[in-house]
Chains A and B, each alone.
Chain A
C-alpha cells in the first residue's frame, strides 16, 4: 500500500502541473482501495487460463475450453463489479491507480508496473470481457469438432488477457507489452489452421504489417523517454501539457509515431492490407479481432494519448486524414467483395476509419469515437458470428453469390444479423444511427476547408456503407436460392445463436442508452479532462446533416435493392467496371505494397548480400587468407633443429636487449 501511495503522489504532482487550454486534467488517479486493488485479476484470470491450457497439454482437453470460457466470464464479472463501484463515485474520484510492482529500476529510468482504472479503460474492459466472453461461448459450438480446440481456447484467453493489459496499463511501456501480446495472439489465431499454407501466410502478413506499426510505437516511446524522462502516462501527459501549444517538432514526431502504431493495429491506411487476409482464421477469431480486441487498440491508443495529440495539431490533422481515407477506402472495397467475411472486414476498416476520424477531431470527437467503438463492437461481433453461423449452415462456403434466400431457413441468424445490418447503416433508433450521426456532425465542426472535406467524406461514407451492407444482407438472406447442390442449410446450435441474440440486443439499444441520454459524454469527458463540451456548432445545421444522411442511406439501400433483389444475382461475378475490378483487388493495396516496399526491399537485400559476399566476406576472407599465409610462412621457422631454436632465442634476446639499450 505504501508504494501505492507513492504512485498517487507522483500522479497527483504530475496532474497538478497541467491545466491549460480546452483540456484540463483535474481527474487525478487515486490509489486503489477495496475491491479496486484486485483489478489485476482482470488480466490474471484469462492469463491463467491460457497458461493452464497450454502447459497442461492433453490432460486439459476435456475441461479446458469450458475453463477458458468460465475464466473469461470471471474477468467480465470483476470488470462489472469495478464498473458498478466506479458508478458510485464522483467524477473526480473515479480514476484509480493500482500499483503492481516495481518493474524497471535503473538509475534515472524507473518504471513501475501499474494499472490505471479510469472511465476510459473500464469501458474497454467491459467491451472486451463481455463481447470476448460471448465469443468464447459461441466458439464452444463453432469449434466443437476441431481437434485443436484446447489450443484455440488457450489463444483466445491469451488474446483477451493481452488486450486487457493493453487498456489497463498505466505506462506506455506496459501498454507495449499488451500491444505485443495482442500481436502475438492474433498471429497465432489467424494462422490457427496453419497446415493450410495460405492461412499461415495470412498470419505472417498480419504479423509483419503489425511490426511496422510496433516499430512506430517503440520509436514513439523512445522519443517520449528522451524528452520527458519517463514513459508512464502521468509523466508524459504532464510534459505534453507543459509544451502547451508551442508545436514543437518532437511532439508531432511522437504523435505521428503513435499514429503509425495505431494504423498497424487498427488496419488503417496505409497499413490496412492485413485485415482482409486475416479472415483466414476461424470466424470467432475474426469477430474477436474486429469487435473486441486488436483493431480497437489503435483507437484506444490515439484517444488515450489525447494530451499528446492536443499539443500537436499537425499530427491531429494527419489522424483525421488517415481516418477519412480509410473510411472511404474500406467502403469502396466493401462494395465489390463477394466473400462474406472479406466484405465484413472491409466494413470494419471503414468503421474504424470513422472512429479514427472522430478521435482526430479533438475533444469534440473523443467520446463519440468511443461510443461508436462500443456499438460497433456489438453489431460487428454479432454480424461476424452470424457470418460464422451462415458458413456453418452452408458447409463453410463464403461466396455470397452462392447464398440467397437463407432467411426462412436460418431465422435466428437472419434476424440477429438483420439488426446488426440496420444498426451499421444507421437505421434511425438503432445503435449506429446515434453514434455515427454524431461523428458526422462532429466532422462538420470547424473552420475553413476542413469541415467540408471531412464532413462530406463521412457523409458519403455513410451512403456507401448503406449500399454495401444492404448488398451483403440481400445477397445472403433474401433473393433467390443460388446454392450448390450439396448444401443443406440449417440453423446453428444454441451455443452459437444465444451469443448472437445477446449481441443483437446490444446492437439495437446500446446507442440509445449511450448517446441521447448524454451518458457517454458525461462518463468519458471527465476522463479526458473536458469540463463541459465546448459549444461549437457544425457549419451546417445538425438537423440538415441528419436528414441528408438518412437520404443517402435510403439511396444506398434502394440501389442495393434494385441490383440484388429485383435483378438476379449472377452466380459468377461479372467483369464489372474498372472501379469494381480495382475494389475487388482491395484497390491494389497488395500490388502497391509489393511495388513500393517488397521489390525495392528485395533488390536492397540482394545488393546487400552482394556487397556482403564480395565486400565484407572478401575482406574477412582476405584477412583469413593473410593470417593463414603468414602462418604457413612462420611455420617454416619451426624446422625441427635445436640449433635453429637456440638461435631464435639468442636473436630474440639480442634484439630486445639492443632495443632496450637504445631506449634507455
Chain B
C-alpha cells in the first residue's frame, strides 16, 4: 500500500502565485453575491427587486467581460510549483474548456436571472413564494403575502450558485471540485423549494434533491479518499502521473475511486442510474429555476467531468471507460424511453434532459479534442434552448397557475401562434432537426465519437441515433398537440381557459435570445464551433 508514498507539502514554505486577472470572473460573481446579501439587508423593500435583479445581471455581464480578459491569462494558478519534486500544485486551471464553460454559464445565467425576475405586475418575482419558511397554507403565509413580502434573496442565491458553477469546471484538484460542487448545490436546494404555487410539491422536490445530493456527495468524497490513497494527492495532475507510473496491484483503489468520483459528478448531469431526482425536482422547482438548473448545472458538471476524464484520470481510462459507456447507454435509452409516457411538460423536459446528458456523454467518450469541442458546443446550444423552453412553460397558465399538463397545451398553436411557434421550434431543436442548433450539436458529438471513439464510439452513436428517433416522437407529439389538438374543455369560460400571459420585457428577452441563438447556431454554427474547437485544450 505504500509503494506510492503520500506526498506532503514541500519542506520550505512557498508563497502561492495568484493571477488575479485570470480568476477575475470568479471574484466578480462572488463579490456580487456578497453585495446581494448586503442589499437584502439594507435596501428598502420596494426597491429591492429592481436593485437585486439589476445587480445580478450587471455582475454577470461584467464577469463575462472578465472571462474575455482572462482568456489572455490562461494557465494554472493559485498554487505553487514544487521545485524539488517538479509537482505543480495548483488549485485552479484557467484554460480553454474552463473559460468556455464559464462564459456559457454566465450568459445562460443572465437569461436565467432575467426569467426569474419576471414579476407579472406583482411586487416580487412571480415564480417564488413571498415567504419560503412558512408552512404552506398557514396563516403565516397569508400574512406574509398580505404584508407585501417578497423573495428577492433568490438573486444572491443564484449568484452563489453561479459562482459554484463557474468554479466547478475550473478546479484542478478534488478538494476544490468538491467545494465547488457544494457551493453550487446548496443554493439550488433552497431555490427549488421556493415555488409560489404547489408549494408542497416544491418543498418535497427540494428535500429530495438535498437528500440525494448529499448521498452523491458522499460517493464523491469516498472516491476522492480512495484516489488519495492511491496517488497520495488530490491534484489532478498528480493523480494522472501516479496512474501512469503506479503499480497495477493498486488498481483495487484506483478503479472504485475513479468510478465513485464520477458518480458524484454524473449525479449532477442526471445520468442513469443517478437520475431519479431529476423529474421530481424539475417538476417541483419554480419553472425559471428549473430552466436555470437544466442549462447551467449541466454545463458546469460536464466541465468538471471533462477535466476529470481528460486531465485527472486520462492515463487510467481503460479502467473506467466501460463503466461510463454503460452509463451513457443507459442514460440515452432510459431518458428517451421514459419521456414517451410523460404527461407533464416539465417532467417531459426532465427526461429529455436526461437523454441529452447521455448524448453529451457520447461526446465525452470520444477521448479527443474534437470530442471536447463537441461537448462544449452541445452544452451551450442545449442551455440556450432549454432556458427559453422553460421560460415559455412559465407563461402558459390556467387560473393563474402554470398549466404544465400536456392536455392543457392542446390547441395552443391556434390561439397563440407566436409562442407556440417558438416552442415548437425549440422542440425541433431538442429533436435534432436540421436548421436548429440541436442538429449541429448532435452531429458534432456523434461525428467525434465515430471518428475517434473506435468500435465503442460507433455503438454509442448507433444507440444515440436510435434514441434520438424515439425522442423525435415525443417532441413531435407536443407540436401535433399544440397545432392539431382541440383545446381542453372548450366551454367558452374565459376565466377558466388556458392562456399565455404577456410577460415583461425580461422574459420576452430571454425567450427571444434563446430561440434566435438556437436558430442561428443551427444555420451558421461555424463561429461557435470554431471557438469550442479552439478552446478544447486543457492545461495540466
Contacts and interface: CB of A to CB of B under 8 A. Distances in A.
A628 B256 contact: no
B215 A649 contact: yes
A630 B338 CA distance: 8
Contacts of A646: 211-212, 215
A52 B207 CA distance: 71
Interface stretch (A190-198, A564-572, A656-664): A656-664
A638 to B, nearest CB: 6
Contacts of A22: none
Contacts of B518: none
Nearest to B470: A627
B337 interface: yes
Contacts of A653: 219, 259-260, 263
A219 B267 CA distance: 58
B255 interface: yes
Given A648-B273, A656-B259, A624 B473 contact: yes
A659 B273 CA distance: 15
Contacts of B274: 649, 652
Contacts of A660: 255-256, 259, 319-320, 322-323
B273 A651 contact: yes
B539 interface: no
Given A649-B273, A656-B326, A661 B255 contact: yes
A642 interface: yes
B169 interface: no
Given A642-B208, A660-B255, A649 B341 contact: no
How many residues of A sit at the interface, in one of the four size bands? 20 to 34
A664 B273 contact: no
A661 B320 CA distance: 11
Interface string A634-645: 110110101011
A632 interface: yes
Contacts of A652: 272-274
Contacts of B216: 649
Contacts of A631: 337-341
A633 to B, nearest CB: 10
B516 to A, nearest CB: 32
Interface in B320-378: 320, 322-323, 326-327, 334, 337-341
Given A628-B341, A634-B338, A659-B326, 18 more contacts: A628-B340, A631-B339, A642-B212, A648-B276, A649-B219, A649-B263, A649-B267, A649-B274, A652-B274, A653-B219, A653-B259, A653-B263, A656-B326, A657-B255, A657-B260, A660-B319, A663-B322, A664-B255
Q: Interface SS of chain B: helix, strand, loop or mixed?
A: helix
B40 interface: no
Nearest to A626: B337
A659 B322 CA distance: 10
B279 interface: yes
Contacts of A645: 208, 212, 276-277
A229 B182 CA distance: 66
B337 A630 contact: yes
A640 B334 CA distance: 17
24 contacts: A628-B340, A628-B341, A634-B337, A638-B276, A640-B280, A642-B208, A642-B212, A645-B212, A646-B212, A648-B273, A648-B276, A649-B219, A649-B263, A649-B273, A652-B273, A653-B219, A653-B260, A656-B326, A657-B259, A657-B260, A659-B322, A660-B255, A660-B259, A664-B319
Interface of A: 624, 627-628, 630-632, 634-635, 637-638, 640, 642, 644-646, 648-649, 651-653, 656-657, 659-661, 663-664
Interface in B98-127: none
B251 A632 contact: no
A314 to B, nearest CB: 48
A659 B326 CA distance: 11
A627 B472 CA distance: 13
**Residue among B208, B216, B279, B340 with max Cβ neighbours from chain A (10 Å):** B340
A355 B326 CA distance: 72
Nearest to A623: B470
Nearest to A632: B341
Nearest to B251: A664
Nearest to B209: A642
A649 B263 CA distance: 9
**Residue among B212, B276, B327, B334 with max Cβ neighbours from chain A (10 Å):** B276
B212 A634 contact: no
A143 to B, nearest CB: 44
Contacts of B470: 627
B473 A644 contact: no
**Nearest 9 A/B pairs, CB to CB:** A652-B273, A645-B276, A631-B341, A631-B340, A642-B208, A631-B337, A656-B323, A642-B211, A649-B274
A634 B340 CA distance: 11
A660 B320 CA distance: 8
Nearest to B326: A656
A627 B340 contact: yes
A519 to B, nearest CB: 60
B406 to A, nearest CB: 14
A364 to B, nearest CB: 58
Nearest to B474: A631
Contacts of B322: 659-660, 663
Contacts of B337: 627, 630-631, 634
Contacts of B326: 656, 659
Contacts of B260: 653, 657
Contacts of A632: 341
A226 B398 CA distance: 65
Nearest to B271: A652
Contacts of B276: 637-638, 644-645, 648-649
Contacts of A624: 473
A646 B216 CA distance: 9
Contacts of A637: 276
Interface in B221-279: 251, 255-256, 259-260, 263, 267, 272-274, 276-277, 279
Interface in B259-317: 259-260, 263, 267, 272-274, 276-277, 279-280
A380 B279 CA distance: 78
B532 to A, nearest CB: 30
A555 B341 CA distance: 85
Contacts of B207: 642
Contacts of B215: 646, 649
